[in-house]
Amino acid sequence: MTDPTGDIPTSTPIVRWNHVPETKAYRVTVRSLSTGSIVEQTEFDTLGRPIPNEYQVAVNLPIGRYQVSVIAIDQAGLAGTPSDPLNFQVRTAPVVTGPAANVSNPR
């Protein structure tokens, strides 16, 4: 695994790892470090993918701490050993939702 690490300014980070030869598919797992629960787990074929060792997280992760790991799956469908997990923290900028446009400023 090479990315993501540290503070990430987006809620859909890109996960990158070193490609494993003879791999048919990869399984990417993202876990919340706050709750311990899996927030996304996806498996995809490498066939036809221009960059087989990269995946953009599909769910919008809220601000928080996460851990990601990847498992290579060979041509026979057997899963390899999970990668060493990487920890990262989503730190997106807050979105201002108010005040409304017609707020008066009494003096």
- Quote the percentage of the chain above a pLDDT of 70: 89
CA dihedral 45→46→47→48, nearest 10 degrees, is 110
What is the distance between the terminal CA atoms of the chain, rounded to a whole angstrom?
A: 58
How much is the pLDDT for 103? 59
Instruction: Give the chain's mean pLDDT.
Output: 89
In tens, the pLDDT along 84-107 reads: 999 999 998 776 777 666 656 666
- Residue 64 makes CB contacts below 8 A (sequence gap 6+) with 32, 33, 34, 89, 90
pLDDT band at 52 (very low <50, low <70, confident <90, very high): confident
Residue 66 confidence class, pLDDT cut points 50, 70, 90: very high
- List Cβ neighbours of 103 (8 Å cut-off, separation of 6 or more): none
Predicted confidence (pLDDT) per residue in 1-19, tens digit: 889 999 999 999 999 999 8
